[in-house]
Amino acid sequence: MRIDNYSSGELPFVPAPPLALKPLLHGPSVEGRVLSHPTILVFDSGVGGLTVFREVAKARPDARFIYAADDALFPYGALPEDKLVARVTALMRGYIDRYSPDLIVIACNTASTIVLPELRKTFAVPFVGTVPAIKPACALSQTKRVSVLGTEATAKREYTQALIREFATGCKVNVVGSALLAPYAERELKGDPVSDAELAEAIAPAFKDDGIARTDTLVLACTHFPLLTERMRRVAPWPVTYIDPAPAIARRVVSLVGPQKPSPRLDAFAEFTSGARPDLDSALATFNLKASIHA
């Protein structure tokens, strides 16, 4: 196994003791339930979690959904870890008091790897997190050349390296951190896309050819990035398989709240910590979301 790390500069890889991966991936043992019209809250720092919301809503269209975005502090990667834990914990307490969700999805890699242990310790509500899909990517790759494309914070985080050490046997893994792609995705959703040249330049480090083999599988290690997948396909130097974590998250949700029940679809609402976001009304409508009265 080989790990290459890239960001705006090369990121050092410092070995550390293996982390306990399973508790973060799956959380404590929670018995699956079969719930009618469960209340499911999907949380992210911005609009990237909409890609996860879309898949979960397909799996349980009969659920009552709230999409909550802490866009006032977007992006999370710049926050010190202690402040991020305090911030997200306080927000969750408010959401739980207000909505009484049956399950909460943390649709953010940064928040999942840093805050989930505290959330599970503090609240009785089941949480489903988001981590880079390195295991399925390495299993799928034919060339054994996998790139992990995430934010700079995800690229630097020891948890990402622990996943690679655990699951990337036989693969060369190229970890790329980008400070640009999440803001690019936010612009894409608002109808103000960057140019093809800018997008191509941002993703170029994820495509590596070492003269023997080249990247054939790309892990989208930020929930914002699937908003750009179709454009990535067009500007990429060669075709690759893009691994979006959202379908796996949706399957995990179904395992905890049960499959869809025959019933009408309920309204779903979005709220933002920055307040009302009329600039996103059209985009939210494409996800069948309405602005929350609490926004």
pLDDT (0 to 100) of residue 8: 35
According to the annotation, is 95 in a ligand binding site? no
- Answer for the pair 219, 137: CB distance below 8 angstroms, yes or no: yes
The backbone region for 28, taken as left when phi is positive above 0, alpha when psi lies in -120 to 50, beta otherwise, is: beta
Residue 84 lies in a domain: yes
As a whole number, the mean pLDDT across the chain is 87
According to the annotation, is 44 in a ligand binding site? yes
Residue 12 or residue 208, greater confidence: 208
pLDDT at 54 over 60: yes
Catalytic choice (66, 106, 108, 232): 108
According to the annotation, is 224 in a ligand binding site? yes
Full residue range of the structural domain in which residue 276 is found = 37-130+247-291
pLDDT at 171 over 60: yes
Q: How far apart are CA 20 and CA 37, in angstroms?
A: 34
According to the annotation, is 151 in a ligand binding site? no
108 and 141 share one domain: no
Tell me the percentage of the chain whose pLDDT exceeds 70: 87
pLDDT at 214 over 80: yes
pLDDT at 29 over 90: no
Catalytic choice (173, 219, 222, 236): 222
> Taking residues 191-209, what's their average pLDDT?
97
Ranges 12-16, 158-162, 168-172: which has the least confidence = 12-16
pLDDT at 25 over 50: no
According to the annotation, is 110 in a ligand binding site? yes
Tens of pLDDT along 70-100? 999 988 888 899 999 999 999 999 999 999 9
154 and 217 share one domain: yes
Angle at 252 between CA 129 and CA 243, to 5 degrees: 70
145 and 123 share one domain: no
- Answer for the pair 162, 113: CB distance below 8 angstroms, yes or no: no
125 and 254 share one domain: yes
Residue 15 lies in a domain: no
Residues 6+ apart with CB under 8 A from 56: 40, 42, 63, 65, 105, 246, 249, 250, 253
Active site residue 222: yes
pLDDT (0 to 100) of residue 21: 46
3-state secondary structure at position 44: strand
